[in-house]
Every structure is written in C-alpha cells, then in structure tokens.
Amino acid sequence: MLNFLIFGPPGSGKGTQSVHLAEKFNLLHLSTGDMLRAEIISGSELGKRVKGLMEKGELVPDSVVIEMIAHKIDSEKMKSGFLYDGFPRTVEQAVALEEMLGRRGMKISAMLALDVDHDELVRRLMGRGAVSGRPDDQDIKVIENRIEVYRSKTEPLADHFRKRGIYRPVNGMGSVEDIFERLCMVVETN
C-alpha cells in the first residue's frame, strides 16, 4: 500500500491538493483532526478516551493518534493507500508512524512538500480570510506567526525524511491544476 505525507505551510494548498490526489490515486485522505472528531462522534472506546482528554483541555498523546491511524488502516481495505495531511508534525510522531506501518509490512512512500513563496502564502491566506471570515486568516501578525511556527517545527521533519531519501519538494506556485500535475508526477514515480 502507498503511504504519502503531504506537507506545506498554511496557505500552500495541501488541503485542496489532498482531495484531488486521494480521488485520482484511490487513496484515503487522513486528516488527524477530522479523524479525532469522527472517533468522538462514533462513540468508540478510542473516541471516548479522546473526548475525555479534549474536554480536560489536554493534548491527545501521540500514542493515541497513532492507535487511531492504525485502526483506520486496519479497517480500510478498498483503497490503494493513504494520504496523511499534516501528520506527523514531529520527528517523534514520524518514528512512531514508521514503526506502526512497519509492523503492518508497510512504509512511507514519500513526503510531498509544497514549496510556496512567503509573499504568496500571505496573499493566499488573506484572500481566504476575506472569503471565509476565519479570523486567523485575516490578521497579518497571526499569519506571519503561523508560517514561522510551521517552518520552525517542520524543518526537523524535512531533514528526517531527507535522510531516508523520501523527501520530495514540489513547486507549490501557480494554478491549482499546475500544482496538481506536479504532485501527480511525483506520486506516479514512487
């Protein structure tokens, strides 16, 4: 099974591209935020644990997130693989994900990293904020901070996957269609 990670700073278009890639390559798009909410709604044992943690304002431990992903992988047999949107976020999470996949005879196929100029990210986020009304996409100081946090937190992850030879930078500039075409070329060669 294929396992692709898609990364990019806020405004890089990873959410939009994830939907298109998942459809074209028959991949299950895994967003941990969406998965956490779905587990809670389902009323599963895992969902009850997650809900309890979130109600206390606590972070969901990496082990629980990995367990949730493992459950999803084990229950999904009709897809060609998985597309992880914004996960893992730390080297520790990456190692845990790799170990969990290894126990299932699987590995990460590639980290697709959307590369977008800083000014373009700001422009996209401000445009999105004007349409969506999201306050975090309307304040330039908040936008700048989100981009900086992404860069500082993600660089160690990029290095981790570079060392494994599976880091794939993709030019994230241009139209949605052009970016999608570039991503498809990378997916098809892995």
List, for residues 148-178, the tens digit of each pLDDT value. 988 888 889 999 999 999 999 999 999 999 9
- Tell me the whole-structure pTM to 2 decimals: 0.87
Beta bridge partners of 114: 170
Q: What is the mean pLDDT of residues 56-82?
A: 87
In the chain, where the domains are located: 2-188
Report the sign of the C-alpha dihedral through residues 63, 91, 8, 23, in that order: negative
pLDDT band at 32 (very low <50, low <70, confident <90, very high): confident
Residues with a catalytic annotation lie at 14, 89, 128, 134, 146
User: Token pair of 173, please?
Assistant: 């500039």
pLDDT confidence tier of residue 50, bands split at 50, 70 and 90: confident
The β-bridge partners of 168 are 112
At 82, give phi and psi (nearest 5°): -135, 145
| Interatomic CA distance for residues 13 and 7, integer angstroms | 9
For residue 108, the model assigns a pLDDT of 97
| Residue given tokens 């699987």 in the structure block | 106
Cβ contact 33:43 at 8 Å: no
pLDDT of residue 58: 77
Residue 75, both tokens: 């229950």
Sequence-distant contacts of 44-53: CB under 8 A, at least 24 apart: 46/71
**pLDDT cut 90: percent of the chain above it:** 61
Residues 153, 170: Cα–Cα separation, whole Å: 19
Tokens linked to 19 = 């939907």
- The CATH homologous superfamily for domain 2-188 is P-loop containing nucleotide triphosphate hydrolases (3.40.50.300)
Is pLDDT at 12 greater than 80 in this prediction? yes
Instruction: Please give the torsion angle defined by the CA atoms of residues 15, 21, 27 and 33, in that order, rounded to the nearest 10 degrees.
Output: 0
Q: What is the pLDDT of residue 126?
A: 93
Averaged over 26-47, what is the pLDDT? 88
Mean per-residue pLDDT, 58-85: 89
Taking only the tens place, the pLDDT of each residue in 93-125 is 999 999 999 999 999 999 999 999 999 999 999
64 pLDDT more than 80: yes
